[in-house]
Amino acid sequence: MHEARLAVYAILARAGRFVMASSHDPTFDRRGITAETVTTAITSPAAEIIEVYRQDTRGSATLVVGYVAGRALHMVLTQPENDRFIVVTAYWPDGRPHRWSPDYRRRMP
């Protein structure tokens, strides 16, 4: 369903056409998440858009799960605009196992 948008994210990520939100710079560092980590996760074969936020304050955004060395990474990405997108935030969901299904694709009630 969201394969086309995910493909656009992957193309832009490979080309380095994204920015990490400056408001989260210390958080990315603390979590060990770099631009390379994001690119690896977005372009991983099992990457998937798992939620769409149509009314986000930054415009339409998506929650993508991707994988780095077998570890799930969640990334909130703005809709691509002007051939780039913004990584609003990113985190390792295994640090919040009570909030996610075992495959990290569905929120727990």
Task: Quick: pLDDT tens for 41-64.
Answer: 999 999 999 999 887 666 789 999
Quick one: average pLDDT of 4-26?
A: 92
What's at 86, amino acid-wise?
A: I
End-to-end CA distance of the chain, in Å? 24
Quick one: average pLDDT of 21-25?
A: 80
pLDDT (0 to 100) of residue 109: 87
What's at 3, amino acid-wise?
A: E
Q: How far apart are CA 103 and CA 97, in angstroms?
A: 10
pLDDT (0 to 100) of residue 4: 92
Q: How far apart are CA 45 and CA 58, in angstroms?
A: 27
Model's pTM, two decimal places? Answer: 0.91
What are the respective helix, strand and coil percentages of the chain, to the nearest 5?
Answer: 35, 35, 35
- Each domain of the chain, given as residue ranges in start order, spans 3-99
